[in-house]
Chains A and B, each alone.
Chain A
Amino acid sequence: MSMPISYGNFISLDINRKKIAMEVTQVLLSAQAVDATVRKHAEDTLKQFQDQNLPGFLLSLSGELASEEKPIESRKLAGLILKNALDAKEQHRKYELVQRWLSLDVAVKGQIKACLLQTLSSSVPDARSTASQVIAKVASIELPQKQWPELIGSLLSNIHQVPPHVKQATLETLGYLCEEVVPDVVDQDHVNKILTAVVQGMNANEGNNEVRLAATRALYNALSFAQANFSNDMERDYIMRVVCEATLSPEVKIRLAAFECLVSIGSTYYEKLTPYIQDIFNITLKAVREEEEPVALQAIEFWSSVCDEEIDILEEYGGEFTADSDVPCYHFIKQALPALVPMLLETLLKQEEDQDQDDGAWNLAMAGGTCLGLVARTVGDDIVPLVMPFIEENITKPDWRQREAATYAFGSILEGPSPDKLTPIVNVALNFMLTALTNDPSSHVKDTTAWTLGRIFEFLHGSTMETPIITPENCQQIITVLLQSMKDVPNVAEKACGALYFLAQGYEDLGSSSSLMPYFQEIVQSLLNVTHREDAGESRLRTAAYETLNEVVRCSTEETARLVSELVQVIMAELHKTLEGQKLSSDEREKQNELQGLLCGCLQVIIQKLGASNTAKYAFMQYGDQIMNLLLRVFACRSATVHEEAMLAIGAFAYATGPNFAIFLPEFYKYLEMGLQNFEEYQVCAVTVGVVGDICRALEGKILPYCDGIMTQLLKDLSSNQLHRSVKPPIFSCFGDIALAIGENFEKYLMYAMPMLQSAAELSAHTSGVDDEMIEYTNLLRNGILEAYSGIFQGFKNTPKTQLLFPYAPHILQFLDSIYMEKDMDDVVMKTAIGVLGDLADTLGSNAGSLIQQSVSSKDFLNECLSSDDHLIKESAEWARLAISRAISV
């Protein structure tokens, strides 16, 4: 972070400015040179300049951007560097940049901002556009600090200027500004003026298409500021009229932007749609049939968004609307159904030839099918009679497009309608599908057929279904067809694997009555064959095969435990093979890495499966040494990072091995530490933290010699700003795991861990926002903190050192009080929190009795938990009550 420069510096800087500015142009141009050496040199010079004199650097960049005499290339790059000096993707870096800007001298900032505003009038479009984006970035830093109050006023005054390009640049700036800043930092008066300017710019009377386009795009971002305006009937009518008119503009970019506005309105202002829905339906229907594809896609997207809203509402309220429901369901989809469904079915016939091979493909047929699926989830049974005639008519047609569309339509409506409605249809269709998957000449049809079978198994097959669609009789045929299909072209084979995945999943709860088990060996062998196909790298076929193998193992039963044990040897051999390659190219290394991931994933699933069965575990443990050695070698393949999948496998292995894991720990420890140090790949760090917990429970006291290292690393992780925040709650829980394992030996870590817990507790006591995501995170954090306290209390229980914890008790009780008062904890936190109250009483005994009696809300909290409907909360509460009653009665 740089210090504000002194006035003296600024003067001297000003004297040299011209010289510097001269140089900057050249350096900026060189930085875009083809010659890498020249480029590198220029980049270094820029960096040096920035490090030595940041204010001067930023000033000269803004001067460069504003200067009409300079070449556009240097102006654009100047703007880009300026923008990057204000914002970064990474949260920690972003925060640093914001602080750095705020601490700059006011005069310097004023000069930069003046240059930026001036650039909006430039005759060069790229310069204007770049300036727009930089202005929005500065605004996003300054407006929340109540700085730059004159910005919006001066932008709005531009609107009335004659040259259309200034108006266009200003509207674009307003759009970016609305995208960058949060609505509550702009007062309503300014919002009104911005919207007025934007909507005027969108109006059909606006003769300049560039202006109209900029205005329409600006509205898209400004919509979230328009809550008050959308509550005003007249203003809302006006905005809606202008948007609908813009969808009819002769300019396709404007029409596209207008449809994007409609999509956003559909989800942001769902409850205000009633008066407009008929018009919007007509507009979108026409667009889907006649428009260019990007516009037609947005028209479909409008209905998908409305489905999303209605699904959310219906899920949240379960269809029961009481006076306190926030938003009622207006059943727009149900009302539009008779016309909407035929429109969507038409789109299904507009497939592209190669869409099944292209991962990123997104076209009318796919969007239409997606929307149809959402409609089915929204209205349930009602969709079935509207779609069935289309299926029946097309499914046997000679044109593959018709057969594929019919199959796709069927697959799309399998989630939503009741099993009662679908089962009879599926019973008839199943045979047809199996035949098609075997015999249809078109790969497109086979691809969609296999996918549809997967959907059938996903939604209509499982222990909860009243009438099973799969019987021991047809099971054999299904498996035969699917295994055969796995030899088809990669995209079809991948879908067949997917179908088998869901077929297996449906048997998960059935145990030994699973009809799949007689075919276990055959299925496993077929899947292994797939993984060895030369073309298994296409259409993620290999991945799908391993994933299905995992699912089949998860759903296997005691009878097949021996076969699963044999699979261990196969997977180990495969893993061993990946370790043989020497001196790999980076491409080969990536492939090795991916394959190791799949194999470790599979091992993890097998370990977990066999580890959970007492009989199978002993047989399997004879491979323990070999498995661990392989996993260690996988770790050793990489120098700087550890393999996440291997780490997950180790966790499962430690759990299954129990105390015997101690013999592996000396060799494994360095990878454990490496995993804990991996800030960049935070998933790896998180997984490793989980593994520490596994090892604690497996080794208990025997983990003690490693605890210094582990605790040091965990404490470092907690203090790091770089580490993703989602890893912090599990680290706190991990403190609890360690304390529980090593008991009073945790004493030496108390002085570090407790202040961290305490400050995190203070932070998480109150959720400041209305932001659901933040509340969810806060609850995760609270749960981690509370699990740490639980582990520490229970670890110290019945030791002579319990009195060491006494000084922390008041704060912990206060923390419990405050989260109780806050009334926003979830069930998990509630259960953990009431448990901590019990642990505190249990460990501190009569010492804590009076503290608990004095605490503000313990009693209410306990009573609330005791009367909870949640079984786990109640259980914890009853335990806490006993512990407290003992503490008080002593």
Chain B
Amino acid sequence: MATHELRRPFKRPAISDQQRRREISLQRQAQNRRDAQHQARCLASTILTLQPAQYEPTEPDLQPQSETELIPELEIESQEQRRDLRDIDDVIQASRLKGVEARQWFAKQLMLPEWMIDVPERLNTDWYVFARPAGKRCFVVSSNGTTISRLRNGSMLHRFPSALPNGARTSKSSQSGQSYCILDCIFHEPDQTYYVIDMVCWAGMSLYECTTEFRFFWLNSKLVETGACDVPSSYHKFRFSTVPIYNCDQEGLNAAYTGPVPYVKDGLLFCNKHAHYQSGNTPLMLVWKDENCSQYVIDTDSKGQVPNKQQVVLELLFDGKLATSDDPPVIFGCLNEDFIQKTGLQAGNLLRFAISDGGLSFVDGKLEKADLHYLGKPNRARAFADSYSKVIFQYTVRHSSLRIEHIYASMSLSSEQGNKISDLDMAG
């Protein structure tokens, strides 16, 4: 006859410490397994491996993965820098970088549009268009309860609390310690708003290898949820906003070009729907402007004046060649050794030139000759040489520009015949 089980005498301890040790051990193992899984998952998903912070290698030589796998996109000039940057395989860590290192690192992460010097094929089916807000292009990183924005050259714009995931020290965000975000933004001074033009990482998830289509979808569905688009408060210093994005058909282009927006426009941005987020210059994102949609069509000098002659910034290579910031670079000319020695210039220096009366000459769509006149070094804040497309765009603006009608026209053309407008037409 079974009797009712006696109760555990009340004054005995409820669980043994051994059982507790087992449980703590199991919890630790489960957590380690999750971390290992998470690490594995993030490896291929991103060019910036997103390892959780506690997974930093305990010793410098224990780096388990080859560096090429980790940071293939980092364009690193010198061996010295390479060593400095190798250990920084983590956005969170990168966001903790200080000074020069931070600038160097962040400067290389933004996706930079080429200038539209010809109209791409299938523009009306494969591309988005939107009016670009005028302002400071920057990366906004939220992590560890704070939000930091960095300009294109890597320097910090603001450090502030935000409603982005883990963007402020509030009880709400504390539950997701590893969570962080990276947004590609333009800070628009007049209304003190960050206009988000792309989403790079969201809530710890990398979107680098996702298509533009997906990133924009994610951006539009996630950003509002967090309350980041709400009016500023003490835990949310700046408002964030999305921009209206259109399919680049006649209607969409028209809306982007002429439609009212709450910000000052600075040209139109065209984004290929299938492109992944790629740091550096890319022909899959294009900027185009004319007087109707931008105050700054022609570059100004440091005094805000449009110079008589177009100015370009090129990088001096070790062999004296003058290169654009493209990869591979386009060579605009060569300085002779005497000149270099006389002026004390060094490889890697950025140099400012004016395009003289000889202008640019093209053969078969390729730059053949440039008539350059050395002016000096550019502003220190410059981190990059001009891109080829920028130089050409500015050149065509001054000579025979690609006008909005051309873009409209190309759509009807491309939809009918898939016609290609060659570079030569443009260079005039």
Whether both chains belong to one complex is answered with yes
Q: How far is the CA of A597 from the CA of B18 in the complex (A)?
A: 9
By Cβ-Cβ distance, the 8 closest A-B pairs, closest first, are: A547-B17, A794-B40, A370-B10, A217-B1, A690-B29, A263-B4, A451-B11, A885-B214
Shortest Cβ distance from A352 into chain B, in angstroms? Answer: 12
Shortest Cβ distance from A536 into chain B, in angstroms? Answer: 16
- Which residues from B are CB-within-8-Å of A838? 41
- Which residues from B are CB-within-8-Å of A447? 11
Q: Is the CB–CB distance between B37 and A683 below 8 Å? A: no
Q: Is the CB–CB distance between B10 and A369 below 8 Å? A: yes
- Which residues from B are CB-within-8-Å of A655? 28, 32
Shortest Cβ distance from B31 into chain A, in angstroms? Answer: 10
> A263-B4, A794-B37 are contacts. A842–B45 as well, Cβ < 8 Å?
yes
Residue of A175, A298, A652 contacting most chain B CB atoms (<10 Å): A652
Q: How far is the CA of A449 from the CA of B175 in the complex (A)?
A: 39
- Which residues from B are CB-within-8-Å of A659? 62
Q: Is the CB–CB distance between B1 and A842 below 8 Å? A: no
A648 at the binding interface (Cβ < 8 Å): yes
Q: Is the CB–CB distance between A645 and B11 below 8 Å? A: no
Shortest Cβ distance from A278 into chain B, in angstroms? Answer: 23
A875 at the binding interface (Cβ < 8 Å): yes
A839 at the binding interface (Cβ < 8 Å): yes
Q: How far is the CA of A547 from the CA of B37 in the complex (A)?
A: 33
A677 at the binding interface (Cβ < 8 Å): no
A601 at the binding interface (Cβ < 8 Å): yes
List 16 extra interface pairs beyond A838-B41, A842-B44, CB under 8 A: A301-B7, A366-B9, A547-B16, A608-B24, A614-B58, A652-B28, A683-B22, A690-B25, A690-B29, A791-B37, A794-B40, A875-B204, A882-B45, A882-B207, A883-B41, A885-B210
Q: Is the CB–CB distance between A882 and B205 below 8 Å? A: yes
Q: Is the CB–CB distance between B21 and A737 below 8 Å? A: no
A130 at the binding interface (Cβ < 8 Å): no
Residue of B6, B16, B36, B211 contacting most chain A CB atoms (<10 Å): B36
Shortest Cβ distance from A668 into chain B, in angstroms? Answer: 17
Q: How far is the CA of A617 from the CA of B54 in the complex (A)?
A: 14
> A304-B7, A648-B25, A687-B22 are contacts. A175–B203 as well, Cβ < 8 Å?
no
Residue of B nearest to A412 (CB): B10
Bitwise, A593-612 to B at CB < 8 A (1) or not (0) is 00001000100110010000
A658 at the binding interface (Cβ < 8 Å): yes
> A547-B17, A687-B22 are contacts. A875–B4 as well, Cβ < 8 Å?
no
A410 at the binding interface (Cβ < 8 Å): no
Q: Is the CB–CB distance between A362 and B6 below 8 Å? A: yes
Q: How far is the CA of A683 from the CA of B206 in the complex (A)?
A: 40
Q: Is the CB–CB distance between B33 and A736 below 8 Å? A: yes
Please name 22 pairs of A and B residues whose Cβ atoms are closer than 8 Å in the assembled complex, sorted by A.
A220-B1, A263-B4, A301-B4, A362-B6, A373-B10, A547-B16, A551-B17, A601-B17, A648-B25, A651-B25, A690-B26, A693-B29, A693-B33, A736-B33, A797-B43, A839-B41, A878-B203, A879-B41, A879-B205, A882-B209, A886-B209, A889-B211
- Which residues from A are CB-within-8-Å of B33? 693, 697, 733, 736-737, 787
Q: Is the CB–CB distance between B1 and A697 below 8 Å? A: no
B2 at the binding interface (Cβ < 8 Å): yes
Q: How far is the CA of A886 from the CA of B207 in the complex (A)?
A: 10
CB contacts under 8 Å to B, within A556-606, are 597, 601, 604-605
- Which residues from B are CB-within-8-Å of A367? 7
Q: CB < 8 Å: which of A544, A687, A694, A791 contacts B32?
A: A694
B64 at the binding interface (Cβ < 8 Å): yes
Q: Is the CB–CB distance between A652 and B37 below 8 Å? A: no
Q: How far is the CA of A610 from the CA of B208 in the complex (A)?
A: 37
Q: How far is the CA of A875 from the CA of B38 in the complex (A)?
A: 10
**How many of A's residues come within 8 Å of B, CB to CB?**
77
Query: Which residues of B pack against A, CB within 8 Å?
Result: 1-4, 6-7, 9-13, 16-18, 21-22, 24-26, 28-29, 32-33, 36-37, 40-41, 43-45, 58, 62, 64, 175-176, 179, 202-207, 209-211, 214, 274
Q: How far is the CA of A515 from the CA of B416 in the complex (A)?
A: 80
Shortest Cβ distance from A132 into chain B, in angstroms? Answer: 11
Interface on chain A toward B: helix, strand, loop, or mixed SS? helix
Residue of B nearest to A369 (CB): B10
Q: How far is the CA of A167 from the CA of B4 in the complex (A)?
A: 25
Shortest Cβ distance from B284 into chain A, in angstroms? Answer: 15
Bitwise, A690-703 to B at CB < 8 A (1) or not (0) is 10011001001000
Q: Is the CB–CB distance between B44 and A798 below 8 Å? A: yes
Q: How far is the CA of A309 from the CA of B58 in the complex (A)?
A: 51
Q: Is the CB–CB distance between B176 and A871 below 8 Å? A: yes
A550 at the binding interface (Cβ < 8 Å): yes
Q: How far is the CA of A264 from the CA of B11 in the complex (A)?
A: 25
A498 at the binding interface (Cβ < 8 Å): yes
> A608-B28, A882-B207 are contacts. A175–B7 as well, Cβ < 8 Å?
no
Query: Which residues of A pack against B, CB within 8 Å?
Result: 175, 179, 217, 220-221, 257, 260, 263-264, 298, 301, 304, 359, 361-362, 366-367, 369-370, 373, 412, 447-448, 451, 495, 498, 543-544, 546-547, 550-551, 597, 601, 604-605, 608, 614, 617, 645, 648, 651-652, 655, 658-659, 683, 687, 690, 693-694, 697, 700, 733, 736-737, 740, 787, 790-791, 794-795, 797-798, 835, 838-839, 842, 871, 875, 878-879, 882-883, 885-886, 889
Q: How far is the CA of A620 from the CA of B277 in the complex (A)?
A: 45
Q: CB < 8 Å: which of A412, A617, A690, A835 contacts B37?
A: A835
Shortest Cβ distance from B169 into chain A, in angstroms? Answer: 16
Q: Is the CB–CB distance between B41 and A651 below 8 Å? A: no
- Which residues from A are CB-within-8-Å of B179? 875
Q: CB < 8 Å: which of B24, B36, B41, B211 contacts A842?
A: B41
Q: Is the CB–CB distance between A871 and B175 below 8 Å? A: yes
Shortest Cβ distance from A447 into chain B, in angstroms? Answer: 8
Q: How far is the CA of A539 from the CA of B274 in the complex (A)?
A: 72
Q: CB < 8 Å: which of A617, A683, A882 contacts B210?
A: A882
- Which residues from B are CB-within-8-Å of A547? 16-17
Shortest Cβ distance from A268 into chain B, in angstroms? Answer: 12
Q: How far is the CA of A361 from the CA of B29 in the complex (A)?
A: 39
- Which residues from B are CB-within-8-Å of A889? 211, 214, 274
> A221-B2, A301-B4, A871-B175 are contacts. A794–B62 as well, Cβ < 8 Å?
no
- Which residues from B are CB-within-8-Å of A361? 9
Q: How far is the CA of A301 from the CA of B64 in the complex (A)?
A: 60
Residue of B3, B11, B175, B207 contacting most chain A CB atoms (<10 Å): B11
Q: Is the CB–CB distance between B211 and A601 below 8 Å? A: no
- Which residues from B are CB-within-8-Å of A787? 33, 37
- Which residues from B are CB-within-8-Å of A217? 1
> A694-B29, A842-B44 are contacts. A648–B21 as well, Cβ < 8 Å?
yes
> A658-B62, A740-B36, A879-B205 are contacts. A648–B22 as well, Cβ < 8 Å?
yes
- Which residues from B are CB-within-8-Å of A614? 58
Residue of A nearest to B176 (CB): A871
- Which residues from A are CB-within-8-Å of B45? 842, 879, 882-883
Q: Is the CB–CB distance between B28 and A362 below 8 Å? A: no
Q: How far is the CA of A697 from the CA of B6 in the complex (A)?
A: 44
Shortest Cβ distance from B174 into chain A, in angstroms? Answer: 11
- Which residues from A are CB-within-8-Å of B13? 498, 544
Q: Is the CB–CB distance between A652 and B25 below 8 Å? A: yes
- Which residues from A are CB-within-8-Å of B21? 550, 601, 604-605, 645, 648
Shortest Cβ distance from A582 into chain B, in angstroms? Answer: 28
- Which residues from B are CB-within-8-Å of A798? 43-44
Residue of B13, B22, B28 contacting most chain A CB atoms (<10 Å): B13
- Which residues from B are CB-within-8-Å of A298? 4
Q: How far is the CA of A700 from the CA of B32 in the complex (A)?
A: 13
Residue of A nearest to B18 (CB): A601
